[in-house]
């Protein structure tokens, strides 16, 4: 659905939220559920869990703050195995991570759950049945979602007692009658959810266009701290847009290679992880065709200008400076405040501090780039720059070279 079609047909479905109640029948939390325009009442049977979770989190984050979405209550969000291993864009006190029943235990999962717990996230185990009492996942859960219809009536109290001995809260789910609610309350359950209490309520709003979502996912993937060169190669090879344009950029006059590079593997190995990350981020933003050419030129110029200043300052990781300059425009690319976009991209803390606070060496570089670009000469910290090896005349040379470089990259990547 295009933005124009969306405006004609009304706000798009972002997700559904279903209340979770406490023993006083006050709303204690909301579960956020995937819904589509084709069916606002339930998720499709062939749903890709990873995509659904990403879609729900992105829509909840972009629509407003998670506190507003859930009226200040915690949000239960379904988590796949893959999604547990990726950055969570919400603070621990705002969400409960719901481990889907499809997650299978193995020894590599333990450290992931331990780290999430140390960060303060609460974990809920979904669709729990009696046969799962010995599952290692129970050990990590703060909340057990007991699938009430699958629990024999004569064993309900005993199961709840066993679970509460593990010092977890028990949430009785799929309650459909007053009698279901009464039995679960009598058994000692702490939280309650089901159609008898409240059905999922569809939340509508303006979705981020699909091309921006795909670019945001790519930026998130390529900037993951644990991303390795082989994964980068695979990611590039899967997308002809990036494969073709990366080779064009690598062989362009802007990068001045003495011999032509014809292989993605060679390009990645030659340039290294950090440089490839920066270039893929650059190409990803160029994929946003609804953004003006001038914005892309501005981002490229800032990236190169920051890199050249870092080089003069003797900063070893010039690629971090390049990425800082490139991402200084990211709020304009996504029409979303900088802080909110950066919550979704796992950048190194030094880059985040530079982009949000102008802090650290990268912050000084970015502040210099922006001040020079805007002609605010009085704001340039010339004495500090001089002590770092950068003279005022150097800035004029580097800025001119940056504009030329950006034009060369633009022409080579078309």
Domains of the chain with bracketed CATH: 3-205 (3.20.20.450), 210-412 (1.10.3210.10)
CA–CA dist 406, 304 (Å, integer) = 8
Q: Rounded to an integer, what distance in angstroms lies between the CA atom of residue 72 and that of residue 339?
A: 20
Backbone dihedral region of 389: left (phi > 0), alpha (psi from -120 to 50 degrees) or beta? left
The DSSP bridge pattern shows strands 27-33 and 12-21 to be antiparallel
- Per-residue pLDDT 10s for the chain (414 aa) are 444 444 334 467 778 889 999 999 999 999 988 876 555 555 545 556 677 777 777 777 655 566 777 888 999 999 888 888 877 777 788 899 999 888 888 888 999 999 999 989 999 999 888 777 888 888 899 999 999 999 999 999 999 999 999 889 999 999 999 999 999 999 999 999 999 999 988 877 665 565 676 677 778 777 777 777 777 777 777 766 677 777 777 776 555 556 677 777 787 777 777 777 777 887 778 777 677 778 888 988 999 999 999 999 998 888 889 989 989 998 888 878 888 888 878 888 999 999 999 999 999 999 999 999 998 989 999 999 999 999 999 999 999 999 988 888 777 655
d(CA 308, CA 306): 6
In sequence order, the 6+-apart residues with CB closer than 8 A to the CB of 205 are 11, 12, 14, 59, 63, 64
Q: Are 200 and 33 in contact (CB under 8 A)?
A: yes
Supply 292's token pair: 């003006």
Place of tokens 């379904």: 78
User: How far is residue 32's CA from residue 73's CA, in Å, rounded to a whole number?
Assistant: 12
348 SS3 class? coil
Q: Is 329 helix (H, G, I), strand (E, B) or coil?
A: coil
Beta bridge partners of 282: none
Cβ 222 vs Cβ 284: under 8 Å: yes
Other CB atoms closer than 10 Å to residue 195's CB: what's the count?
13
| CA neighbor of 58 nearest in space, from 39, 41, 83, 81 | 83
97, containing H or E segment: strand 95-99
Q: Is residue 38 within 8 Å of residue 57, measured between CB atoms? A: no
């Amino acid at each position: 659905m295009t933005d124009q079609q969306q405006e004609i047909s009304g706000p798009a479905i972002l997700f559904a939220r279903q209340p979770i109640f406490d023993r006083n029948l006050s709303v204690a939390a909301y579960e956020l559920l995937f819904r589509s325009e084709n069916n606002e009442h339930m998720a499709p049977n062939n749903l890709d869990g990873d995509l659904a979770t990403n879609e729900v989190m992105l829509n909840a984050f972009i629509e407003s703050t998670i506190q507003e979405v859930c009226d200040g209550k915690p949000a239960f969000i379904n988590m796949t195995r893959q999604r547990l291993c990726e950055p969570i864009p919400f603070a621990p006190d705002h969400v409960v991570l719901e481990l889907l029943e499809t997650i299978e235990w193995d020894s590599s999962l333990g450290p992931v759950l331990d780290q999430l717990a140390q960060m303060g996230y609460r974990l809920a185990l979904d669709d729990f049945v009696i046969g799962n009492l010995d599952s290692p996942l129970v050990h990590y859960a703060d909340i057990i979602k007991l699938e009430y219809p699958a629990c024999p009536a004569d064993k309900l109290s005993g199961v709840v007692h066993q679970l509460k001995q593990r010092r977890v809260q028990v949430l009785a789910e799929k309650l459909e009658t007053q009698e279901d609610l009464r039995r679960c309350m009598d058994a000692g359950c702490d939280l309650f959810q089901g159609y008898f209490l409240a059905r999922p309520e569809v939340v509508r709003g303006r979705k981020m266009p699909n091309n921006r979502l795909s670019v945001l996912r790519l930026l998130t993937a390529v900037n993951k701290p644990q991303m390795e060169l082989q994964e980068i190669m695979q990611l590039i090879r899967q997308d002809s847009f990036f494969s073709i344009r990366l080779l064009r950029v690598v062989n362009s006059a802007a990068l001045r290679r003495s011999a032509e590079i014809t292989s993605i593997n060679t390009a990645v190995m030659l340039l290294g992880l950090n440089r490839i990350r920066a270039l893929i981020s650059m190409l990803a933003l160029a994929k946003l065709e609804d953004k003006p050419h001038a914005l892309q030129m501005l981002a490229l110029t800032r990236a190169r200008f920051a890199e050249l200043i870092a080089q003069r300052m003797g900063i070893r990781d010039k690629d971090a400076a390049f990425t800082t300059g490139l991402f200084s425009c990211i709020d304009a690319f996504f029409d979303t405040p900088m802080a909110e976009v950066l919550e979704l991209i796992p950048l190194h803390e030094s880059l985040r501090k530079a982009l949000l606070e102008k802090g650290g060496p990268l912050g000084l570089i970015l502040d210099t780039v922006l001040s020079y670009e805007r002609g605010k000469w009085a704001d340039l910290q010339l004495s500090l720059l001089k002590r770092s090896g950068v003279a005022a005349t150097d800035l004029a040379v580097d800025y001119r070279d940056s504009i030329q470089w950006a034009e060369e990259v633009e022409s080579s990547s078309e």
